[in-house]
Amino acid sequence: MSIRTSVKQMLVRQQDKKYEAELAKLRVTYAQWAAEQEKKIAETVVTEIGERAGLAEFVIYRQQKGQLAENAVERINAYFVKHPEAEIVYGDEDLLSENGERVIPWFKPCWAPDTYRAFFYVGSVVAVRSRLLQKLGEPGAVTEGESTGREIVFSKAEEIRPLMDRLFLAAGGFERGCHTIGHLEEVLFHGTFGTAGIGLQGPAETSREKAEDEQNPWEEYRTAAESAKLSVELAAKAAEEARELFARELRVSVIIPSKDNPSVLGKCLRSLTQRPEGSVPVEILLIDNGSNEENRKKTEQLVEEIRTAGTPIRYVYEPAEFNFSTMCNRGAELADGKLLLFLNDDIELCENDWLDKMVSRALQPYVGSVGLKLYYPDSVKIQHDGIVNLPVGPVHKLQFMEDDRSYYFGRNRFTQDCVAVTGACLLIRTEVFREAGGFREVLRVAYNDVELGFRLLEMGYYNVVWNDRFAYHHESLSRGSDESPEKMQRLVQERELLYQMHPQFRGEDPFYPKGLNREGLDSRVVPAYLTDRNVLQEPFWKRGLPGGEELQKIRRDNCLMARVETAGPERIQGYSVILGDDNACYEKHLLLIPCGETEGQDVWSMQLMPAYRQELEENLPDQKNVALGGFCVLREGEQLPAGNYTIAVLVVNRVSKLKLWNTTGKYLTVELPAAKE
């Protein structure tokens, strides 16, 4: 072996050691993270007890196999004292391994009535005020003068479910604008393996996904929610809903915006009309904002085919600039149905009873909009499963994930409440849509469906996504991978307008627990502790490239896989991986390359700090040292010339000095700072 080769190997080993040390600092186990959180909570509890003297009268119902967390009674009491309107409160939980280590956290949403109907997600510990128990004549209520926080133990979820159904009903949990059921976003219970009668083997920290899927220790909480186990009250309520559904003279007005897309539209219309007799009747309003003459004729032929087959359909041809909100509102103005179904022309419906299922839920007085799980065509790859609102903006969690297994406690299996559902398939009662004022036409292309969802929540309604029925969405899998600067700028502007309309939702989603990852944009739903050590990097842009070289003289190579997931006004976030090489040896730089009117001006660069991205090492097991391939750069405080920029990544091998670069397919628009008044 030559001296040169030996030196190179030694340098590579040094880089690998540095990588392992950095990885150890950024990677944290749930037990470590939980211990830090508990310390903070303990200090908070002492402060709150001192500031809020007083005792609430309540009873705690808890699972037998496990134990209440430290200070759980005090935390619950403090919550009830702070929230006098609350009648019921539940908390998060986790498991204790055989060696006593805390594993598998179960973080829960705010009160979600439709999720509760599908899945007893409140779980192993629920506290109920005595006054509610006394109101229902239930035994075990704490009376004045007795110690608060009496514990009632249950061994199986099915034992407690009927009582809980009655309590949540009595507390107004299935009414519009419920504020009497609270979620304490803290771990209040430590279960043991086999908590719900199901065994769990092996270290949960390394088999988390398997545990949550095949051996879910809380499996019985799901089965306890099946219709055969519903309480008398909820079963009667469900039967009443079904009777009301078929007693009304219902009609659903299906509103489909479409232009120059007759072939895909035909598939949509045929799937919509191929439903069995006895199904909820529909009328179709096809809103065309200016198809060319050839496509207009094809669409008219298609409309006549549907009309001849017996389905009422109206073709509204009104040439105008594209505005999705305006087209939908125009259809709603012409609709006669008691419910409105907004449908993209590239949706292909599946299963005969999908609409009846959606209608049965939309008729609930507390429900706003209802959506459907959407797949990419000819697959079980998820496109939509409810919208999640994160600090980077509204996203589709589980997008591109295969629907062949259960994710994070059945998120893709059970009916879920969420902040919004996609306008590609959205059902709503006509009276509710008009009460809300329709779609906001200032949001011409994007986020109009999210804005409607936010508004419905503010009005006290719940938005629901059905997960046991699906449709195909013939949206390109690569759509948005190479947007123009103009489209990116419009998207950013409409997102900012969304949050100007609803500032309280900026970065907030009550149905997406704060214990789950809110910074990363990988499609999975995973606990936040996995990336808790990542640092949001301050911007420090320098004119030119490191070393002063010209970009044209550096090799552009697709072996550098560079992706940007968001390039908004708050941050630039993404990851990069060098395929086929040791990533520990590379220094990475983010590049902004002027484009459009500013093309040819100076490139700007900044060295990237590594961020831990667990999914990279999971998804690229054949690549070396990729877990620290993430990055997240804040926008606030950056000093850049106004203009449009192509975002790229440059990497430099510290050992061989090899330099490579590649674009990310994303753009950034820097605007002039607003003038001071």
SS3 568: coil
| Rounded average pLDDT over 154-169 | 89
Q: How many CA atoms lie within 13 A of 675 on its CB side?
A: 1
Residue 500, classified by CB atoms within 10 Å of its CB into exposed (0-12), middle (13-18) or buried (19+), is exposed
Angle subtended by helix axes 293-308 and 262-273, to nearest 10 = 10
pLDDT in tens, 655-668: 999 999 999 989 99
Going by pLDDT thresholds of 50, 70 and 90, the confidence category of residue 369 is very high
Tokens (6 digits) for 513: 């627990």
Could you state, in order of their start, the residue ranges of all structural domains in the chain? Answer: 43-198+212-236, 250-505, 531-670
**Looking at residue 157, what is its pLDDT?**
81
Tokens (6 digits) for 370: 């209802």
Match 């012409």 to its residue by tokens. Answer: 334
Q: Please give the residue that has the higher pLDDT: either 123 or 214.
A: 123
Q: How many CA atoms lie within 13 A of 181 on its CB side?
A: 23
List CB contacts of 14: < 8 A, sequence separation 6 or more: none
Portion of the chain with pLDDT greater than 70, in percent: 87
CB 149 within 8 A of CB 73: yes
Going by pLDDT thresholds of 50, 70 and 90, the confidence category of residue 202 is very low
Tokens (6 digits) for 317: 């041809």
**Looking at residue 479, what is its pLDDT?**
43
Over 70: is that where the pLDDT of 383 sits? yes
Nearest-CA neighbor of 591 among 641, 543, 658? 543
**Looking at residue 227, what is its pLDDT?**
38
For strand 58-63 and strand 150-154, is the pairing parallel, antiparallel, or unpaired? parallel
**Looking at residue 596, what is its pLDDT?**
82
Tokens (6 digits) for 446: 């994007």
Question: Mean pLDDT over all residues of the chain?
Answer: 87
Architecture of domain 531-670 in this structure = Sandwich (2.60)
For the ranges 29-43, 96-110, 143-157, 588-602, the lowest mean pLDDT is seen at: 143-157
| Rounded average pLDDT over 69-90 | 94
650 beta partners: 589, 661
Q: Please give the residue that has the higher pLDDT: either 249 or 601.
A: 601
Angle subtended by helix axes 30-51 and 72-82, to nearest 10 = 50
Q: Please give the residue that has the higher pLDDT: either 612 or 600.
A: 612
Over 60: is that where the pLDDT of 220 sits? no
**Looking at residue 149, what is its pLDDT?**
77
Distance CA(515)–CA(185), nearest Å, equals 8
**N-terminal to C-terminal alpha carbon distance within the chain:** 70
CB 271 within 8 A of CB 342: no
Angle subtended by helix axes 485-501 and 448-458, to nearest 10 = 10
Nearest-CA neighbor of 528 among 450, 612, 465? 612
Match 């060696």 to its residue by tokens. Answer: 99
| DSSP for 213-282, written as a single string | HTT-TTHHHHHTTSGGGS-HHHHHHHHHHHHHHHHS---EEEEEE-SS-HHHHHHHHHHHH---TTSPPE
List CB contacts of 345: < 8 A, sequence separation 6 or more: 256, 257, 258, 261, 264, 265, 268
Tokens (6 digits) for 651: 């990497």
**Looking at residue 221, what is its pLDDT?**
57
Distance CA(217)–CA(320), nearest Å, equals 55
Q: DSSP strand E in 99-211: where?
A: 102-106, 125-129, 150-154, 181-192
List CB contacts of 6: < 8 A, sequence separation 6 or more: none
Q: Please give the residue that has the higher pLDDT: either 228 or 62.
A: 62
**Looking at residue 201, what is its pLDDT?**
27
**Looking at residue 43, what is its pLDDT?**
72
| Rounded average pLDDT over 65-88 | 94
Going by pLDDT thresholds of 50, 70 and 90, the confidence category of residue 232 is low
**Looking at residue 211, what is its pLDDT?**
41
What's the order of all strands across the beta sheet hosting 586-595? 542-543, 604-607, 586-595, 643-653, 659-670, 555-556
Distance CA(628)–CA(530), nearest Å, equals 12
Tokens (6 digits) for 348: 């292909």
| Rounded average pLDDT over 577-587 | 97
Q: Please give the residue that has the higher pLDDT: either 176 or 2.
A: 176
Distance CA(602)–CA(543), nearest Å, equals 7
Per-residue CA distances from 646 to 117, 490, 574, 652 (Å): 48, 16, 14, 20
Match 């983010």 to its residue by tokens. Answer: 590
pLDDT in tens, 452-485: 999 999 999 999 999 989 999 997 543 444 467 7
Tokens (6 digits) for 570: 């708050």
pTM exceeds 0.75, yes or no: yes
Over 80: is that where the pLDDT of 15 sits? yes
Portion of the chain with pLDDT greater than 90, in percent: 67
Tokens (6 digits) for 95: 């498991």
pLDDT in tens, 270-286: 999 988 877 899 999 99
pLDDT in tens, 290-306: 999 999 999 999 999 99
DSSP class of 324: H
Distance CA(524)–CA(587), nearest Å, equals 28
| Rounded average pLDDT over 34-53 | 70
Residue 171 burial (CB count, 10 A): 21
Cα-only R_g, the chain: 27
Over 60: is that where the pLDDT of 553 sits? yes
Match 């719900």 to its residue by tokens. Answer: 196
Q: Which fold has domain 250-505?
A: Spore Coat Polysaccharide Biosynthesis Protein SpsA; Chain A (3.90.550)
Over 70: is that where the pLDDT of 146 sits? no
